Structure 1
Amino acid sequence: MKNSWWMRSLCIIFLGWLLATTSFAAEEKITVRDFTLYNNGQNIPLTATLHLDYQLTDYLRDSLLNGGTLTHEVRFNLVWHNDWWFNKSEKFASIISELKYHSLSRHYQVVRKDTGEHWNFSNLASALNHLGSLENYKLPPLPTNVYQANTSLFMEATLSPKEPDSLPLGLSNLFSEDHSLVSQGVLWALTP
């Protein structure tokens, strides 16, 4: 009788410890806070608004503070749904940015590769907030056959360490694990 009471007590203590340690641990990920597509009711290219939140891993944070560059990509794919076979997916648009830390000036820099624009921030939270905000981005014109089938627009964001230019493409991946963060995907049905 005494042994079962002790076993129950130990199980309750263990479960309490397990819940306490897992519920307070920060999850390393990219979260989509808001994603909106609109075209103002006209037959013009779609406009996207996007807001992301980041929980960096220690590896990514240390890499950034030690002179590494983080590459951020927001991908838009067109997906044609098929009931009988595999869905067809095609790259539609992509926005690539880089995040760097300059130790001498103690500033974080965000550089958008497609426009060449850059911004400086005094702290990492502000830099990540800017990196994860996309306001009124005009997507390319949709193909003419997009409304003739069951089609959706799929959006996904990634944040990963940039591979050094001195190594051949993909060589660093052979010797290290993948430290990329990937957001959950968002699928937006395209209807006329």
Structure 2
Amino acid sequence: MFRPRSSSSAVLLLWLLLATAAMGAWAADAGRFAIRTVFTHIEGGVIYLNADVDYELSEIAREALTSGVELTIEIQIEVVRDRRLWLDRDVASLLQRYQLSYQPLSERFIVRNLNSGDQMSFAELPAALEHLGRVRNLPLIDDALLRPGKRYEIRMRAMLDTRDLAGPLRLISFFWGDWRLESEWFEWPLQI
């Protein structure tokens, strides 16, 4: 067994081990989710949402996906009434959920909309993530539910939902930062 000769050797050895571990963690692909653009439009009395989201899975999430683990991605959207002297009032909230899976026999990535049941398959993961990141004409709220002259704001974020992972993997994801993939809240005023 290796035993350092002095305490300075032990400190140097410990420092080298920590530096090596830190470099390995730094070099690992952590992934990220980011909302790039968002806009809304009104058609037939309904406010629709369009957004572009960049999804980059961490290396550990990609490995799990190609090993058969289904990943659930959520888009959380809130419509709030902006009140100056009080807390903002939630007017509506929407949770759009997608499941991303890999089928090894066909070598296809499947994107399933868990709200509607629609699904599409893709030969490559980047194409599946690009499709997942294009949110088009998502009905958000009926404009009759909004009071004219009041200020409203929309908030949106995308996240990897680790609650749907199998028990042991869910526990690991709680402690391992590479599983915590979520965008910042993207906020913008709603023009009525």
TM-score of Structure 1 vs Structure 2, range by shorter chain: 0.7 to 0.9
Cα drift, residue 143 of structure 1:
5.5
What's 1:158 paired with? 159
1:24-83 per-position Cα deviation (integer Å, ceiling 9, x unaligned): 99662112222110115x6x1111111111221112111111111111111210122232
What's 1:138 paired with? 139
CA contact 1:70–1:162 (8 Å) conserved in 2: no
Cα drift, residue 185 of structure 1:
2.1
Q: Secondary structure at the match of 2:116?
A: coil
Which residue identity does 1:52 align to in structure 2?
V
CA contact 1:33–1:52 (8 Å) conserved in 2: yes
After TM superposition, the structure 1 stretch with the greater mean CA deviation from structure 2, 45-54 or 179-188, is 179-188
What's 1:184 paired with? 184
**C-alpha distance in structure 2 between counterparts of 1:30 and 1:174, whole Å:** 16
CA contact 1:163–1:172 (8 Å) conserved in 2: no
Cα drift, residue 146 of structure 1:
4.1
What's 2:9 paired with? none
What's 1:67 paired with? 68
Q: Secondary structure at the match of 2:141?
A: coil
Cα drift, residue 121 of structure 1:
0.7
Cα drift, residue 140 of structure 1:
3.2
Q: Secondary structure at the match of 2:61?
A: helix
1:32 to 2:31 alignment: no
Q: Secondary structure at the match of 2:120?
A: strand
Tell me: CA distance 1:33–1:175, structure 2 relative to 1, closer, same or farther (3 Å): closer
Cα drift, residue 123 of structure 1:
0.8
**C-alpha distance in structure 2 between counterparts of 1:174 and 1:181, whole Å:** 10
Calculate the TM-score normalised by the size of structure 2: 0.72
Q: Note the residue ranges of structure 2 that are not aligned, 5 or more in a row.
A: 1-26
RMSD: 2.8
**C-alpha distance in structure 1 between counterparts of 2:33 and 2:100, whole Å:** 15
Tell me: CA distance 1:101–1:94, structure 2 relative to 1, closer, same or farther (3 Å): same
Q: Note the residue ranges of structure 1 that are not aligned, 5 or more in a row.
A: 1-23
**C-alpha distance in structure 2 between counterparts of 1:174 and 1:120, whole Å:** 26
Matches within 5 A, 1:91-110: 91-110=92-111
Cα drift, residue 154 of structure 1:
1.1
**C-alpha distance in structure 2 between counterparts of 1:75 and 1:90, whole Å:** 14
After TM superposition, the structure 1 stretch with the greater mean CA deviation from structure 2, 25-34 or 109-118, is 25-34
Which residue identity does 1:181 align to in structure 2?
L
CA contact 1:26–1:55 (8 Å) conserved in 2: no
What's 1:7 paired with? none
**C-alpha distance in structure 2 between counterparts of 1:91 and 1:159, whole Å:** 22
Which residue identity does 1:180 align to in structure 2?
R
Q: Secondary structure at the match of 2:96?
A: strand
Calculate the TM-score normalised by the size of structure 1: 0.72
Cα drift, residue 93 of structure 1:
1.8
CA contact 2:156–2:187 (8 Å) conserved in 1: yes
What's 1:16 paired with? none
Which residue identity does 1:60 align to in structure 2?
A
What's 2:123 paired with? 122
Matches within 5 A, 1:21-60: 28-39=31-42, 44-60=45-61
